[in-house]
Amino acid sequence: MDEYLKHAMDFLNKHNIEFSIELGEGKPAKWNPSGDHYVVRMTKKNPRKQITFDFWGSYHDMQEGITPNEYDILACISGNAFFTSAEEVYFEFGNDAQGMDVNAIVSFAKKLNNFFTDEELESLGEIR
């Protein structure tokens, strides 16, 4: 196990988060080319909380038969929890935000904030 994956696994274990990645049903991404579609589920036992979301691996990984792991997904979402408004998304991404579903980004950030505590979000931000 490399150090990046170990860091992600340590985060999940420290915060008692169960994590699953399953190949999805081929739901198309809003961009091309995209990789395989996955469904990610994270569950906490105390207090009982669950979050499920779609994730697309990279096109390169799909071509190489590589499945994303816990590190890949946590690193990808680690910066997403901090967008509390469309203005913040536009500020962060500038002109690149024009092609993004800004409302979906903000909605996902709210889901992450409802799932993770402030302490967990701080630790999640260290996974990059």
Residues 96-118 pLDDT 10s: 777 778 888 899 999 999 999 99
pLDDT (0 to 100) of residue 83? 87
Q: How many CB atoms lie within 10 A of CB 85?
A: 11
Mean pLDDT across the chain: 91
pLDDT (0 to 100) of residue 100? 79
**Contact at 8 Å (CB) between 32 and 96?**
no
**Contact at 8 Å (CB) between 118 and 65?**
no
Please tell me whether the peptide bond between 68 and the residue prior to it is cis, using omega within 30 degrees of 0.
no
Residues 76-95 pLDDT 10s: 999 888 888 888 888 888 87
Residue % of the chain over a pLDDT of 70: 100
Burial 14-44 (b: 16+ CB within 10 A, else e): eeebebebeeeeeeeeeeeeebbbbebebeb
Q: How many CB atoms lie within 10 A of CB 74?
A: 24
